[in-house]
Structure 1
Amino acid sequence: MLAAVLKAEVDQYIGELAGQRDEAGRRLVVRNGRHRPRTVTTAAGPVEVAAPRVNDKRVDETTGERQRFSSKILAPWCRKSPKISEVLPLLYLHGLPSGDFAPAMEQFLGSPAVLSPAPVTRLTQQ
């Protein structure tokens, strides 16, 4: 479940920036495989997760540094699940409309989770 949520987050990020291209017409933000698997402890026990990687070639105009994708759901240093795998099914079972998942997830995670209603519905059906 956690891997599916991370994939949905990356899919949405890449989809939003799909129109940005370089001089040669290549996309600036693309998927770049997966990170090394790491063990994340959840309420259900330890789970091995290989988070998707994103190659973001965009450059910040003011600082000149490359922009980077950082998951709002599972930070690179995080070794304990923010209970995302427990929260999504509970919200769904309690009848929360999929459009209201983002504000509810913000309350649980402390930061806005970037998930549109379509991926949330797909994830709850899995």
Structure 2
Amino acid sequence: MSSVIDEIVREGAQQMLAAALRAEVAAYCAQFADERDENGHRLVVRNGYHEPREVTTAAGAIEVHAPRVNDKRVDPETGERVRFSSAILPPWARKTRRWSRCCRCCTCMGSRRRTSGRRWASFWARPRACRRPRSPS
């Protein structure tokens, strides 16, 4: 029963992420729709999809097909082409932040050692507010 639910959650997460990425790219392209080159072609256009990649989320591993943007604008200061980079799914991301934090926590707690059971027991015995380190203000 739980495997069916897990699959539904993964598919839902995959569809929501795909929709969010498409909306982000559409907004980016619409923002620069009026910019044209000397031949009248748009400088910022969609250009298919990147190779699919797997991203590990709290819902499990999902395959992502991120849309590609061809941005031909040139930065006047550096002379280099401007590149689109998704704020939702950066090019280097393979895990969500929450999942990465969990992996770091497991490593710090010694999940591969014999003493890990005792450490985890003491970790979960603490109040919830004490588990998450506070960020410096």
SS in 2 for 1:11: helix
Structure 2: which 5+ runs fail to align? 1-15, 99-137
Deviation at 1:82, TM superposition (A): 4.8
Of all paired residues, the percent bearing the same amino acid is 67
Cα RMSD of the aligned pairs, angstroms, is: 1.1
Structure 1: which 5+ runs fail to align? 84-126
Aligned to 2:91: 76
Which is higher, the Rg of structure 1 or of structure 2? 2
Q: What is the TM-score when the length of structure 1 is the normalising length?
A: 0.64
Deviation at 1:81, TM superposition (A): 2.9
Contact 1:73/1:82 (CA < 8 Å) preserved in 2? no
Aligned residues between the structures: 83
| 1:43 matches 2:58 | yes
Q: Write the distance in 2 (CA, Å) between the matches of 1:49 and 1:75.
A: 12
Aligned to 2:22: 7
Contact 1:29/1:56 (CA < 8 Å) preserved in 2? yes
User: Which residue identity is paired with 1:22?
Assistant: D
Ranked by relative contact order (alpha carbons within 8 Å, sequence separation 6 or more), the top structure is 1
Q: Could you say which structure has the higher helix fraction?
A: 2
